[in-house]
Amino acid sequence: MARPQPRPLGRVLGIDPAAAGATGFAVIETDGRDCRVLHYGAAKPLRGASPAGRLAGIHKLVAKLLQDFSPDAVAVESSFAALNVRSALLLAEVRGVVLLAAAQSQVPVESYSPREIKAKVAGSGQASKQQVQVMVRSQLQMKELPQPHDAADAMAVALCHIHSQRVRARMVRALSPRDAS
């Protein structure tokens, strides 16, 4: 069975979800070679918001980004490496809302573990936050280090998705029969 050819990537919305702190977001565009960042930031939950109210805030943010930037894919950090079970579960609730927003906009969504993101973007699953920031800056040809680190992490997950798609596209090409031309 022939695998479907992955379409060339244009825009990716990266989300670094947070249960209590700020949720990072970044819109990255690629022409197939170079990548640049169109928009990024980090959104803190409103003071005094209930847990459900915080989820509503994050859903609104992601839905707005999807509407404003029409990305071809959403890439989101998975929560499997969180420090303790309670935070991991809270983080998974946030992730659920991000996945929902993507599904509601009919945009495909992929999850990547923190280790995978570091390995793909900074060359090692053990890379520090600073090493990730430096590599993100270099790959996006930014003048300054991306700030805050939640936004840098969102750029990293978007870049990780772009790298993964490139590798998949290369594999598909390598595995397909050659053109008769």
State the residues that interact with its own copies by CB under 8 A. Answer: 50-53, 55-56, 59, 79-80, 85-86, 88-97, 99-100, 102-104, 109
Positions annotated as catalytic residues are 16, 77, 150
How many angstroms separate the CA atoms of 136 and 146, rounded?
8
State the residue for tokens 């809302």: 97
Q: C-alpha 94: how far from its chain's center?
A: 14
Q: Give the residue from 115, 15, 106 showing the smallest Cα distance to 62.
A: 15
Residue 20 beta carbon to its own copies: minimum distance, rounded to whole angstroms: 14
How many angstroms separate the CA atoms of 114 and 78, rounded?
7
How many angstroms separate the CA atoms of 79 and 19, rounded?
10
Residue 28 is encoded by which pair of tokens?
């990255």
**12: DSSP letter:** E
Q: Which residue's CB is nearer to its own copies, number 9 or number 90? A: 90
Residue 162 beta carbon to its own copies: minimum distance, rounded to whole angstroms: 19
Q: Which residue's CB is nearer to its own copies, number 84 or number 181? A: 84
Residue 100 beta carbon to its own copies: minimum distance, rounded to whole angstroms: 5
Q: Which residue's CB is nearer to its own copies, number 87 or number 164? A: 87
Q: Which residue's CB is nearer to its own copies, number 88 or number 169? A: 88
Residue 168 beta carbon to its own copies: minimum distance, rounded to whole angstroms: 17
